[in-house]
Amino acid sequence: MSTTATPHGRVVVVTGASGGVGRATARAFAAGGDRVALLARGSEGLAAAADEVRSAGGEPLVIGVDVSDAKAVDDAAQQVVDTFGPIDVWVNNAFTGVFAPFTEIGPDEFRRVTEVTYLGYVFGTRAALRHMLPHDRGTIVQVGSALAYRGIPLQSAYCGAKHAIQGFNESLRCELLHARSGVRTTMVQLPAVNTPQFEWVLNRMKGRARPVAPVYQPEVAARAIVYAASHAGRREYWVGASTAATLLANAVVPGLLDRYLARTGFSSQQDDERHDEPANLWAPADGPQGHDFGAHGRFDDEAVHDSPQQWVSRNRRRMGAALTVGAAGVLAARKLAGQARR
């Protein structure tokens, strides 16, 4: 079942809300009059995100939390319920990463990426279910990536975590369906997005980390996440033509894609220049000693503001019906033409 908004708007929780996709998503929910709990580590980013939520028409609740701490996430969920009431939507989005070949990532670093990017989703989902299941309603949106299906070089820890989220979410979805639960979970698979993450990742390469083109603005992702929250009957949504192309190619010719990425995956993820910001692996880059980075990264000049493929993903039944009607029309026209010739 879809979440039902209260007269004061839905109660929405967004993790990783201090910057990037999480920041844009919080604004998008606020524009609908929702009350938005902002969960993240970075105090400067959280404060700025709260101001944006108010300006957009929502009501913010700032909670500083490291999502790799299960108890802290449970406590945050309880704080949301105590302040706003039952949770309608929980968006898992927080992550961190290391930009380096696998052999140059230390065990503690790999573990940290896994704990934040994968277990953070597990702990967030568990906290959300603890409050949603008794009410038999609510939606959990897992913010995924094309890399949940297709691993690429230099991001082994992040790709591994996204693959793990995909499997975990599928398992949970089956269990909820088996129980005939009113709680829904869905996943939104994103393309490369113009966010501050490429300044934040721990980078061991010579060049400055960058996304593989084409790059989309975080507002494109935010619109998809907000839509998915209200249409969670679908198991997942794909955002961006590059996501669709990557997932389809990986399903058909994965070995060929391995070789292609081996040739192009290093150069396409680096700029020649090098400019290091403090990595956020162990501490937030937008903490008390840092500054607010906002939702956008440094790729505004090339980032795409819309995704026609996203419309197709939302309306695939309508498209399928149109194609069926169109095909039937073609066959009918051919049949009439044949009769006329006779």
Give the separation between CA 309 and CA 200, rounded to whole angstroms.
29
The span from the CA of 156 to the CA of 109, in Å, is 11
- Sign of CA pseudo-dihedral 260, 212, 232, 224: negative
Distance between CA atoms of residues 77 and 65, nearest Å: 11
Check 118, 121, 149, 158 and give the catalytic one.
158
Contacts of 90 (CB under 8 A, 6+ apart): 12, 13, 124, 125, 127, 128, 132, 138, 139, 140, 141
To the query of whether residue 121 is one of the catalytic residues in this protein, the response is no
CB 146 within 8 A of CB 216: no
Neighbours of 147 (CB within 10 A): 23
Are the C-beta atoms of residues 62 and 55 closer than 8 Å to each other?
no
- Residue 267 DSSP label: G
Q: Which residue numbers are catalytic? A: 158
